[in-house]
Every structure is written in C-alpha cells, then in structure tokens.
Amino acid sequence: MSGLPVQPAYTLAVQPPERRWLIEDLWAAEAVGIVGGEPKCGKSWLALDVAVAVASGALCLRRFRPAQTGRVLLFAAEDALHIVRARLAGIALAAGVAFETLDIQVITAPTVRLDLPEDQRRLRETVATLRPALLVLDPFVRLHRIDENAAAEVAPVLASLRELERHFRTAVLLVHHARKGAAHARAGQALRGSSELHAWGDSNLYLRRQGDTLSLAIEHRAAPSREGLVVELRAQGEALALHVVDGGGARPAAPPGRSLGERIEQALAAAGAPLTRRALRRACRMRASTLGQILARLLADGRVARSPDGYSLVGP
C-alpha cells in the first residue's frame, strides 16, 4: 500500500486576490454554504439573486460585485417552474440584464434526493456535463428523508456536496430553514438540525426579520464577516428583487424588542404576582412569537424569572 500524497507547506498553491471571491465580500470562490433564515424571510429570493449575479455579472442585491461569472445549475424543490421563471425574470429586470441571456439551467425533475445513491449519481453526472460555476439547491428539507438532527445522517449528505465542489470546482449554495423561536440565538446556531450544517459552510448568509426590518448577516470561514445589513424586497414596475437599503448597512437592525422588553417588565411590576404567558400577551398586546423571543432574552439577562405560576420580575 502506498501512503497519502504530501508536499511542503511553502510549495502549496497561492490563490491570487482576484480569485478569492465568487461575489466580492458575499460568497467565496468555490465555496459551499447556506442561505438560512426563518420561513418567509426571502431566502429563495436571495439565492436566486446570487444565481442571476453569477450568471450575468450584475451586482448582487444591487451592491456586491461578482468577481467570477459562469453557468448556474438550479433545483427549486418547493416552487413551481413558472414561479421560478417569474422570479428570475424580475430579478434580471432589476439587475438591468436581459433574462434570455442568463445561463441558468433549471433541473426539472420532480424530486432530487441527496440521501439516495442513485440521485447523487444523477446530480454528479449533471454537474459533470454542465460544469456550473454555482449549484443552487433550495431548500434542504425537500432534498432528503434523513433525520436532520442526527449528525451521522447529515454528514454524508453534506460530504457528497463537498465532493462535488472539490472535484468540479463549483460553488454550492444550499437554502435551509432556521429553527422556530431561535431569533435570540447566533445566526448559524439558529439553523434547524445538526450543527454539522453550520460547520459545513465556507460562506453563509442569514436573513432575519425583526418587525418590519429584514437584516442580512454574512459569515465566512476565511474572511471577515459582516452583520447589520438591511435589505428589502422592492418592486419597480414588473421588477421584484431584494435590494440593500441605501447606506449599505449604516442602519443595522436594532436588538429585538428593547422597548417591548420594558413593556413586559412594566406589566410584571404592575401585576405584583406571576403572570402566565397568555396573561402577558393580553397585558402587553403582543404576538406570541415576539413575546417568546423577548422573554427568552429577559430570562437570559436575569431580568425575569419563571416558575410554575408564570413569569415574575426579578428585583434589584
């Protein structure tokens, strides 16, 4: 048996700066990663915007310049093909490029299962034939029937995508959901399922909605990360696409519910006795999801205590 190949570290290839990015500051060259967020946060819109930018060279989100361009291979497991077409056409219009010129190849198979060897083979053959610069798979939950919480089941699926990236030198973007009620957690740790998903990504993008504000966090394995970019889904005639709000992140999203937290504390102080979550909702006139997020923060900060009777304010 022969050993593994090795070479001195100083002889390893040097990547020139102009080859380090697929989209500057947003997605690294040949990176695998996740676009994550809770439902209805615009994850698919963001993934399609990345696809249009790579296929055309137009600015992604009207802000980030593609450093490399090429073919995109897309599988949208949840949306009908006519919806995919309409969204791509609108983004192309917003980006100022002709939709018909985009080299975006859409997989039209009804299902693709990344946990099945036969489907892995078919996807590999498609990538080998088309040689895309970017592979977009949306969303992860529709691409398998494994237990997302079991690292032993998730890791082989992610390894198959990493192997595609390394063998064919194609970036891989995987859309994935965040856990419900995890708005207080760090973006990557809020992803649903095994921590393997967060650890896998070279470049990860996270969308979060706080009230009417949609914010974008950018995370890289080998480059500085960035938080607090405010984005919005903007309609301009028939063009519907995400845009970075003017100011390029000068308006970071506020921490969830400072004034709302004060409202909860005032309600508990006025009650003089523990309040159930339902009673707090009535007293504060607050949605259950919002109340849960803020209570979690107040509990973590030691401002509020929980007992079998409900929630109470912690004294000074």
pLDDT, tens digit, 9 for 90 and up, residues 137-168:
999 999 999 999 999 999 999 999 999 999 99
Residue 156 inside a domain? The answer is yes
Q: Are residues 190 and 275 in the same domain?
A: no
Range 49-68 average pLDDT = 97
- Rounded CA separation 222/202 (Å): 7
Q: Which residue is listed with tokens 């390029």?
A: 248
SS (H, E, C) 16-60: CHHHCEEECCCEECCCEEEEEECCCCCHHHHHHHHHHHHHHCCCE
Residue 286 is part of a domain; what is its CATH number? 1.10.10.10
Q: Are residues 224 and 284 in the same domain?
A: no
- The alpha helices in the chain, defined as continuous H runs, are 43-56, 81-95, 117-130, 151-168, 196-200, 258-271, 277-284, 288-300
Q: Are residues 37 and 115 in the same domain?
A: yes
- Rounded CA separation 186/188 (Å): 6
Q: Are residues 231 and 273 in the same domain?
A: no
Q: What is the pTM for the complete model shown?
A: 0.76
Residue 253 inside a domain? The answer is no
Q: Are residues 290 and 143 in the same domain?
A: no
What was the pLDDT predicted at 228? 83
Q: Are residues 285 and 216 in the same domain?
A: no
Number of domains in the chain: 2
What was the pLDDT predicted at 210? 81
Dump pLDDT digits (tens) for 200-216.
999 999 999 887 889 99
Phi-psi region of 292 (alpha: psi -120 to 50; beta: other; left: phi over 0): alpha
Distances (CA, A) of 209 to 36, 60, 103, 285: 12, 20, 32, 19
Instruction: Assess whether pLDDT exceeds 90 at residue 282.
Output: no
**Among residues 184, 212, 244, which one ends one of the domains?**
244
Q: Are residues 90 and 188 in the same domain?
A: yes
Helix (H, G, I), strand (E, B) or coil at 227: strand
Residue 174 is part of a domain; what is its CATH number? 3.40.50.300
What was the pLDDT predicted at 191? 92
Average pLDDT, the chain: 89
On whether the CB atoms of residues 180 and 38 are closer than 8 A, the answer is: yes
- The alpha carbon torsion through 236, 21, 133, 176 (nearest 10 deg) reads -70
Residue 204 inside a domain? The answer is yes
**Among residues 244, 269, 299, which one ends one of the domains?**
244
Q: Are residues 21 and 74 in the same domain?
A: yes
Residue 23 inside a domain? The answer is yes
What was the pLDDT predicted at 258? 41
Q: Are residues 225 and 272 in the same domain?
A: no
Residue 1 inside a domain? The answer is no
Range 226-248 average pLDDT = 86
**Among residues 213, 244, 275, which one ends one of the domains?**
244
Instruction: Assess whether pLDDT exceeds 90 at residue 73.
Output: yes
Two structure tokens written together for 81 = 């093909």
CB-based burial, 16-41: b 16+ in 10 Å, e otherwise: eeeebbbbbbbbbbbbbbbbbbbeeb
On whether the CB atoms of residues 133 and 102 are closer than 8 A, the answer is: no
What is the span of the domain harbouring residue 282? 258-313
Q: Are residues 195 and 151 in the same domain?
A: yes
Distances (CA, A) of 190 to 28, 118, 123, 143, 151: 22, 31, 29, 20, 16
- Rounded CA separation 36/31 (Å): 15
Q: Are residues 233 and 309 in the same domain?
A: no
On whether the CB atoms of residues 297 and 256 are closer than 8 A, the answer is: yes
Lowest mean pLDDT among 19-28, 94-103, 263-272: 263-272
Instruction: Assess whether pLDDT exceeds 70 at residue 1.
Output: no
Helix (H, G, I), strand (E, B) or coil at 221: coil
257 vs 125 pLDDT, higher one: 125
Instruction: Assess whether pLDDT exceeds 90 at residue 198.
Output: yes
Q: Are residues 194 and 285 in the same domain?
A: no
Instruction: Assess whether pLDDT exceeds 60 at residue 255.
Output: no
User: What single DSSP character describes residue 117?
Assistant: H
Residue 92 inside a domain? The answer is yes
Measured at the CA of 315, the angle between CA 309 and CA 316, to 5 degrees, comes to: 165
Residue 8 inside a domain? The answer is no
